[in-house]
Chains A and B, each alone.
Chain A
Amino acid sequence: MKEITITTHKMASAHAAGWHIWGWEIPVYLFLGGLTAGILVLAAVMILRNKGKEYPVATNRVILLAPIFISFGMLALFLDLTHKLYVWRFYTSFQVTSVMSWGSWILLLVYPVNILMILATLEEGYPKLYGWIKEKSVSIGGGRLEGIFSSLISFSKRHIKLWAKIAIPVGVGLGIYTGILLSAFGARPIWNSAILGPLFLVSGISAGAALIVLMAKGAERQYFAKIDMMLIGSELFVLFLFFVGQLTASASQQEAIRLLIDKSIMAPVFWIFVVTIGLLLPAFFEWLETRGGEIPAWLPPSLVLFGGLALRFVLVKACCLWREMSIEQLL
């Protein structure tokens, strides 16, 4: 028998203030970051392969949404900070050993690359918006503003392949980092697996592909539905490796992963919402569609997006749960 009693207050859950670590903000950010990474990588690949005519949404249109998603993600991150006025401190230093520091600088790289890609594809992707901006720039700032706008556009267009080449490592970096952010904590055995990096990257690219499927029509939709099916397959495989890794690691990791197998409410949540609804069902629907089945077009990609968000919620929440449970054992 071993019983541990804490006779004076430890910093423990309901028994103490200031104990909370991460709530809903972090999974939302991790999802939006992954989605942005997926959009960047897929759009860059399509630009490099000159697929503007064949796949207009993926090449020229979807990229406009990336800065919106990442900005909402960063807003969620900001909401999570408890010492908000000091947020600028992220950008007064670079800490080599801190994944979060790497992430904050990667986020700063994402914006310019993203905006240059938007400028380079705006005319083809959103001709009406492009025309409107051009017209407004003439009416507001006269020829000078219009001149700046046109030269920015032509500069971006001239080097479009270069932006795409930069966007791929930046996107992959962003996607992997969202996973490593969780995995780099030896104190949290359920996260302590570097395979979360590839897992979140594949899941992010899959979410990006799902978004393109939602927006596209005809041949493009079918093409990306197929790509998404392959990505879902890869994600299931990486998820399997995550379980193998955790189940064969140290005792604390074996115990922690059982939260997702049989030890907590997170187990049914994980298998129903992440694996079944978020991965297996959309893969099945997309497969049915290739066989000529009638499935509402919005359904499979929506499920994929939902699954991506659910995966991050489950992982973040499972760790909080593990923390509470290990403290409850102590009390």
Chain B
Amino acid sequence: MKLTKKKYAMVIDTKTCVGCGACVVACKTENEVPEGRHRDWIVEEVSGTFPNLQMEIRSERCNHCSNAPCVHACPTGASHYKKGTENLVLVDENKCTGCKACMAACPYEARFTVPEGYTSKCTFCSHRIEKKEQPACSTVCPAQAIYFGDLNNPMSAVSRLLRKRKFKTLLPEVGTKANVYYLV
């Protein structure tokens, strides 16, 4: 049997997310993200005209795009897809020169430089996935709004959710094929 590569995705339910910021704090702690930097963040989007207003709350991060412009722009191969996955974008800090081409390439502004100089961003908690654990942001979510899994497995929670519910991705027009899906 041919082993298919994993297609890791996050499905975030904007209908249950309350914007508490637990995911942001959990990520900071789990990944020891340096001061002033964040790998995920909360966005509140209010639209409509008073009194008919709507609010959508999103927990945003690197979209681990299937067509990642940061991977294409990297001159040294530091930004790469993790082996065995279709889309898990990682940065090899020993190859990164700090040229910042990936930061210029990312339409989501998900990347930053750390004080040591290399670029960094969300890894979907790659080290936890290896231990068969869920990403930190997903485990702490008190509203259980963050789901994580493999889209190439039709039985995974994320696959089932995307079959059942309406969803969107951010900036689909830039052609990145983002893999963080928002249930709307």
Question: A residues touching B (Cβ–Cβ < 8 Å)?
Answer: 1-12, 16-22, 80-84, 86-87, 89-90, 92-93, 95, 97-101, 103-104, 184-188, 250, 323, 327, 330
Which chain A positions have C-beta within 8 A of B98?
A: 81-84, 86
CA–CA, A87 and B75, complex, Å:
11
Let me know if B76 is at the binding interface, CB within 8 A. Answer: yes
Beyond A90-B76, A98-B101, is A16–B46 a contact (Cβ under 8 Å)?
no
Contact assessment for A187 and B36 in the assembled complex, using a CB-CB cutoff below 8 Å: no
Which chain B positions have C-beta within 8 A of A12?
A: 109
Let me know if B32 is at the binding interface, CB within 8 A. Answer: no
CA–CA, A2 and B37, complex, Å:
27
Contact assessment for B174 and A81 in the assembled complex, using a CB-CB cutoff below 8 Å: no
Which chain A positions have C-beta within 8 A of B175?
A: 186
Contact assessment for A10 and B38 in the assembled complex, using a CB-CB cutoff below 8 Å: yes
Contact assessment for B100 and A90 in the assembled complex, using a CB-CB cutoff below 8 Å: no
CB distance from A102 to the nearest CB of B (A): 8
Contact assessment for B21 and A80 in the assembled complex, using a CB-CB cutoff below 8 Å: no
Beyond A11-B112, A82-B117, is A95–B75 a contact (Cβ under 8 Å)?
yes
1/0 per position for B101-124, CB-CB distance to A under 8 A?
101111101111111111000000
**Which of B44, B75, B77, B117 has a CB less than 8 Å from the CB of A5?**
B44
Q: Could you list 10 further interchain pairs (A-B, Cβ under 8 angstroms) beyond the known A186-B105, A323-B109, A330-B43?
A: A1-B50, A2-B46, A6-B44, A8-B24, A8-B41, A11-B41, A11-B111, A16-B37, A21-B100, A250-B173
Within 8 A of A (CB), among B69-93: 69, 71-78, 93
CB distance from A5 to the nearest CB of B (A): 4
Which chain B positions have C-beta within 8 A of A10?
A: 38, 41, 43, 60, 109
Q: Provide 26 A-B residue pairs closer than 8 Å at the C-beta atoms, listed in order of the A residue.
A: A1-B50, A4-B44, A5-B45, A8-B21, A9-B24, A11-B37, A16-B37, A17-B35, A19-B112, A21-B104, A81-B98, A82-B100, A84-B117, A86-B96, A86-B118, A89-B78, A89-B96, A90-B97, A95-B72, A95-B76, A98-B72, A185-B69, A185-B73, A185-B105, A186-B107, A188-B104
CA–CA, A190 and B152, complex, Å:
37
Contact assessment for B96 and A3 in the assembled complex, using a CB-CB cutoff below 8 Å: no
CA–CA, A22 and B101, complex, Å:
9
Smallest Cβ-Cβ distance to A251: which chain B residue:
B173
CA–CA, A100 and B24, complex, Å:
33
CA–CA, A19 and B110, complex, Å:
10
CA–CA, A21 and B41, complex, Å:
20
CA–CA, A3 and B57, complex, Å:
12
CA–CA, A131 and B62, complex, Å:
61
CB distance from B168 to the nearest CB of A (A): 15
Smallest Cβ-Cβ distance to A19: which chain B residue:
B112
Top 6 closest A-B pairs, CB basis? A82-B98, A17-B36, A83-B98, A83-B117, A187-B107, A18-B112
Let me know if B155 is at the binding interface, CB within 8 A. Answer: no
Contact assessment for B73 and A90 in the assembled complex, using a CB-CB cutoff below 8 Å: no
Let me know if B4 is at the binding interface, CB within 8 A. Answer: no
Contact assessment for A186 and B42 in the assembled complex, using a CB-CB cutoff below 8 Å: no
Contact assessment for A7 and B21 in the assembled complex, using a CB-CB cutoff below 8 Å: yes
Contact assessment for A4 and B41 in the assembled complex, using a CB-CB cutoff below 8 Å: no
Let me know if B143 is at the binding interface, CB within 8 A. Answer: no
Smallest Cβ-Cβ distance to A15: which chain B residue:
B36
**Which of A1, A95, A184 has a CB less than 8 Å from the CB of B47?**
A1
Which chain A positions have C-beta within 8 A of B35?
A: 17
CA–CA, A322 and B69, complex, Å:
19
**Which of B38, B42, B107 has a CB less than 8 Å from the CB of A16?**
B38
1/0 per position for B7-46, CB-CB distance to A under 8 A?
0000000000001010010000000001111100111111
